[in-house]
Amino acid sequence: MSTLGAYFRLARVGWVLVREGVVAALPTQDMPPVVGLIKTLADPLARFRAKKQARSERLTRAVDRLGPSYVKIGQFLATRPDVVGVDWAIDLSMLQDRMAFFPTPLARAAVEASLGRPVGDLYTSFGEPIAAASIAQVHPCMIGDRKVAVKVVRPGVRQRFAHDIEGMYLLSRLQERFVPSSRRLRPVEVTRTLEQTTKMEMDLRLEAAALSELAENTSEDPGFRVPKVDWERTGRDVITMEWIDGVKMNDIQALRVAGHDLEKLAETLIQSFLRHTLRDGFFHADMHPGNLFVDPNGTVVAVDMGIVGRLGRKERRFLAEILFGFITRDYLRVAEVHFEAGYVPAHHDVAAFAQAIRAIGEPIHGQPAETISMARLLALLFEVTDLFEMQTRPELILLQKTMVVVEGVARMLDPRFNMWKASEPVVGQWIRDNLGPKRIVSDLRDGVKAAVKLAEAVPEIAAKTETLHKELVRMAESGLRFDPETAEAIGKAEARHSRSGRLALWVIALSLLYIAFTL
């Protein structure tokens, strides 16, 4: 029945997108002819006023009708321009995660259930909410004479998301089955990533841990910090943190009135992000201006760390080499790194890929640095990776998306901001430390550690190898066999799957016919 329910929910989503004119705005280039036919049939059903609205307004109206889960889904897809395209990613990034407040008594009950103590024992006062999003809302509270921000998870949001994600899985499986060209983007894997990141975002203990980790990493960094966490008053459904008195980074006039140096703030923001990414391999992945404050001392304070990104040492090295190759116009090296990292399938020609990279890099060198658009650069990169069947790397896509957002905030502060010049001190130092002699020492040290671990595991590996050999010999002699219970269970599962699939297809077809003739 869960599959049947997913079909119904997906039908509702489709109908809302049709009614609000979103389907009519979808591109049909390089899509099967049936997609164009569906778009033609859907166009007359769109509301007349929807046709006059910008695409981003249509999206906003549709998502508002669909509810909180789809706000989060839309925001996630905004981080995947490789899946939805750069233009649609920009539109989705404009979705405002602002929802209606839920009653304060429900928030107090959630706090007490999560922390196991009465609200009166935890806080001197518990104020009315001041901000509400799809996952949680924030209350100003007092602990003695100390003001804190208390973030509380929205009641029922986990159950609602669990239902809505079923429709996303169904859609991604249909996409992989009927649109072969999309398989390199791994739609099911994208949906799985969405499910995992959103579940993590719904556990506020993990956000508290991310704030704590970033605070440790940046304790000596100039001009950047995150709020302190009150662990005694933090649980799965509630996080208590330092109240930030500052100006939001998108309030340019207020920043000027407060006397802040906007050019310096832009430089600090970019350099901080690059330090977190290259030095620590751990970065705030939702650094839009609404999550960035400037305190009275001119320090950038980042809040709301529900979404974070991580890069391993190898990924950071590949990233630095690619960046360095673009800067020095060594396009062959950029191409080689893509192959070494396994980003591009080995059957492609390195020289041909280097030629494609050159087509992206040369126009950049022909422009003033302050005019280079990271969004445009990413659009060109995605076109090239499509030609060469480059597999989607979620961690790199999240990094690229965050880089675009951070660059946008910096340019908002300083329209003539030179990202490359501001980045050089951080990137240059990392390259000197990790792509020079120090890299050899580091690689040797890692190699020794790996050799020691391998030596320790040799007896266990030998025992498992012997067991595997015996099993292979037995299978070769008598064949692969299931016990009766396993064979029966497999047969029943296949029968259930076939019946539910046929039933769901008929129900959805009848439902759509009903909609067509009654609306």
Active site residue ranges: 286
Burial track 5-30 (b if 16+ CB lie within 10 A, e otherwise): ebbebbbebbbbbbbbbbbbbeeeee
Q: What long-range pairs does 256-261 form, CB within 8 A, spacing at least 24?
A: 258/294, 258/296, 260/294, 260/298, 261/298
Joined tokens for residue 401: 């998306």
Nearest to 207 by CA among 107, 109, 303: 303
Q: What is the three-state SS of 120-182?
A: HHHCCEECCCCEECCCEEEEEEEECCEEEEEEEECCCHHHHHHHHHHHHHHHHHHHHHHCHHH
293 - beta bridge partners?
A: 248, 301
Structure tokens at 60: 């906003």
Place of tokens 């480059």: 390
Strand, coil or helix: 454: helix
Provide the token pair at 202: 């719904």
With contact defined as beta carbons under 8 Å apart, do 385 and 335 qualify?
no
Please tell me the distance from the alpha carbon of residue 247 to that of residue 508, in angstroms, as a whole number.
50
Backbone angles phi, psi at 227, to 5 degrees: -65, 150
SS3 234: strand
CA triple 480-482-486, angle to 5 deg? 155
Residue 365 phi, psi dihedral angles, 5° rounding: -70, -15
Dist CA 275 CA 322 (whole Å): 17
CA dist 147 and 439 (Å) reads 46
Residues 6 or more apart whose CB falls under 8 angstroms from that of 155 comprise: 102, 106, 110
Is residue 294 within 8 Å of residue 260, measured between CB atoms? yes
Which residues, in sequence order, are bridge partners of residue 142? 125, 147
CA distances from 199 to 7, 301, 445 (A): 23, 25, 37
- Asked whether the beta carbons of 95 and 75 are under 8 A apart, the reply is yes
